[in-house]
Structure 1
Amino acid sequence: MTSQAIGYMDSGVGGLTVVKEALRQLPYESVCFIGDQARLPYGPRPAEQVREFSEQLGQFLTAKNIKMFVIACNTATSAALEYLQKTLPIPVIGVISPGSRAAIKATKNHRIGVIATEGTIKSNAYEKAILSKDLQNKVFSLACPKFVPIVESNEYKTKIAKQIVDESMAYFKGTDIDTLILGCTHYPLLKPFIQEAVGPDVKLIDSGAETVSSVSLLLDYFNLANESSHKELPDRYFSTGSADRFKLIAGNWLEMDDLNVTHVPVESLSLK
C-alpha cells in the first residue's frame, strides 16, 4: 500500500508547482499527475462543470492505483473538494485550506490579498476559509484571468507577462496588504513579477507549496508514507492536451528532460 503513487490533478501545468514542492519535500513518494489542458481554463467555467471534470480526473487517477488524491487546482478545490472527499475511496486534499492557514500565520496587520481565477474568487472560498479562522482579517480578492493563459503558452518570463502582472497588481495599491495568497497553482511561475509589483514587504503565500506540507502530515496520519528509502514506482505524467507541449513546459519548470508524459483523450474520461 505505501509504495503507491500520490495522484495530482490540475486544469493544466499549474499543478506542477505543487509537484515540484512534493519532489523536494517527499523525495521517496511517486507522482502520478494529470493536467486537463484540452479543457482549460477552469476559472470561467460553471462550478458544476468543474466538479464533473474533477471527478473524471479523480476516477482516472484512482484507476492507476494511487493512495491519495491532491486537487492541485484552486478552482477545482472550491468546486469539488467536499464532493470528492465523500465519493472517492482514498484521502482527498485541496489547496485552499493550507494556503489560508499559512496566510493567517504570516500576516501582521490582518490585511490579506488573494489573487485567483474567476471561479475561485466567485466562490469566496479563500475569504470564507480565512474569516472562519480569524474575523480580525480583511480580505482583498482579485480575479486574474489573464495569468493562466500566459503560463500555459510558456510566456511567463516575457515582457508581456510582466506588463499584465503590473497592470493587475495595481489593484492592491492603497490596500496596505502585507500578505498575498497566490490562489492558483499557475501563479507561482509568475512569482518574480508578482513580488516586484507588490513590493518586497508583501509576503507571498504559495498555496500549492503549503499543501504539500499537509500531504506529508496526512501520509503519516493514514499510515500511507512510503517506507522505502527510494521510489518504488516511476513518476508518470498525463495530459489531455499535447504531450509534447506539456513535456516542454513541465521539463523547464521541474528542471527535468526525461519526463514520462502520455496523452489521454478527453473522450476516454467519461464517468463510469
Structure 2
Amino acid sequence: MTHTQPIGFIDSGVGGLTVVKEAIKQLPNESILYLGDTARCPYGPRPAEQVIDYTWQMTRFLLEKNIKMLVIACNTATAVALDEIKAALSIPVIGVILPGSRAAVKATSNHRIGVIGTAGTIKSHSYERALKAKSPQTTVISLACPKFVPIVESNQYHSSVAKKIVSETLRPLKNKKLDTVILGCTHYPLLKHMIQNELGSTIRLIDSGAETVGEVSTLLDYFDIAQQSDQDVIPTHEFYTTGSPKIFDEIANDWLDLPNISSNHIDLGGK
C-alpha cells in the first residue's frame, strides 16, 4: 500500500458527498474516489441481504481502482455490512455509526439522544447499541424518516415541499426533552438547516459523516498511509454514479466547492 493511493467512499446515492466535503476540508492532500449507487437508492427500505450484496458490488468496484482505505459513507450499509466487509478486506474499512455515536455521547448533557435515519438503520438498532455500550444511562429515541433521502436524491432539498416534509416527519421528536440528535444518514446534512429550525436552536445536531473523517485521519496516520504534502502528487477527485450523472453533478457542484465536477456513469448490474 502506498501513500498516494486514493481513499474510497461508497454510498447509496449522493448522501456520502457530505462526508467527502469534510474529507476535502480536513484531508486536502488525499485523493478521493466516490461511488454513489443512485440507481438503486434508497437502501433504507431494502432487505439487509440485498443491502449487503449492493455494498459488496460497490466495494469490489473501488478495490479494482486500488484504494488504500474504504469509507462506508452510508448508515444503512454500515449497519448491516460493515462487519462482514471489514473482516474480509486487508485495507482499513470505516463506517459512520461509531464515530457519530461517540460524538453524541460527548455532546449530550442530559443523556437524552435522538437518532433520525432510514428505516433500515433504525430497524437495525445499531445506533442504540453503540450509544448504550458507551453510556448505559442514555435514553435513545429513534425515528425513521423515509421521505428524507428521496427529497435529497431528486435535488428538492431547498424546496418548500422539503420544509413541509421535514416539519411533519420530525413532529414525534418534539417535547421529548432531547438535547442532542444524530443525523443518522449522510443525506440528512443537506437538510440540516430545516432540521435545526424544526427541532430548535438548543438541540445539538451530530453529523455522523463529518465525525467519521476525524477517524479516517487518525487511521491514515496509524497505518502510515497518509498522503504527505511534500510528495509532489496533486490529489485527484473522481466521482462515479449508477444513476443520472446530470442530477449527481448538480448536487455535487452545489454541495462541494470543487470546480466542474463531472461524474462517470457505471453499471453495477443487478436490481
Is the aligned partner of 1:117 residue 2:122? no
- What does residue 219 of structure 1 align with? 220
Q: 1:256 aligns with which of 246, 258, 263?
A: 258
In 2, Cα distance between the equivalents of 1:158 and 1:209? 24
Residue 232 of structure 1, CA deviation: 3.7
In 1, Cα distance between the equivalents of 2:259 and 2:153? 18
Structure 1 runs not aligned, ≥5 long: none
Deviations 1:85-112 (A, max 9, x none): 0112211000000000000000000000
Q: 2:268 aligns with which of 263, 266, 269?
A: 266
Output the TM-score relative to the length of structure 2: 0.97
* SS of 1:136 mapped into structure 2: coil
In 1, Cα distance between the equivalents of 2:263 and 2:164? 32
Ranges of 4+ aligned residues in structure 1 off by more than 4 Å = none
- What does residue 80 of structure 1 align with? 81
Deviations 1:28-85 (A, max 9, x none): 0011000001111000001111011111111110110110000000000001000000
Q: AA paired with 1:90?
A: I
- What does residue 234 of structure 1 align with? 236
- What does residue 70 of structure 1 align with? 71
Residue 261 of structure 1, CA deviation: 1.1
Q: 2:248 aligns with which of 239, 246, 249?
A: 246
Q: AA paired with 1:76?
A: A
Q: AA paired with 1:182?
A: L
In 2, Cα distance between the equivalents of 1:259 and 1:5? 17
Deviations 1:189-230 (A, max 9, x none): 000000000001000000000000000000001111002346
Deviations 1:134-179 (A, max 9, x none): 1110000000000000000111011110111111111111210000
Shift in CA distance, 231/170, structure 1 to aligned 2, threshold 3 Å: farther
In 2, Cα distance between the equivalents of 1:251 and 1:232? 20
> Does the Cα contact within 8 Å between 1:4 and 1:233 map onto a contact in 2?
no
Cα RMSD, aligned residues only? 1.3
Q: AA paired with 1:258?
A: N
> Does the Cα contact within 8 Å between 1:38 and 1:266 map onto a contact in 2?
no
> Does the Cα contact within 8 Å between 2:70 and 2:94 map onto a contact in 1?
yes
* SS of 1:120 mapped into structure 2: helix
- What does residue 171 of structure 2 align with? 170
In 2, Cα distance between the equivalents of 1:134 and 1:99? 14
Matched residues, number: 269
In 2, Cα distance between the equivalents of 1:245 and 1:256? 16
Listed as ranges, the matches of 1:45-64 within 5 Å are 45-64=46-65
In 1, Cα distance between the equivalents of 2:183 and 2:205? 7
Shift in CA distance, 20/231, structure 1 to aligned 2, threshold 3 Å: farther
- What does residue 210 of structure 1 align with? 211
Output the TM-score relative to the length of structure 1: 0.96
> Does the Cα contact within 8 Å between 1:182 and 1:205 map onto a contact in 2?
yes
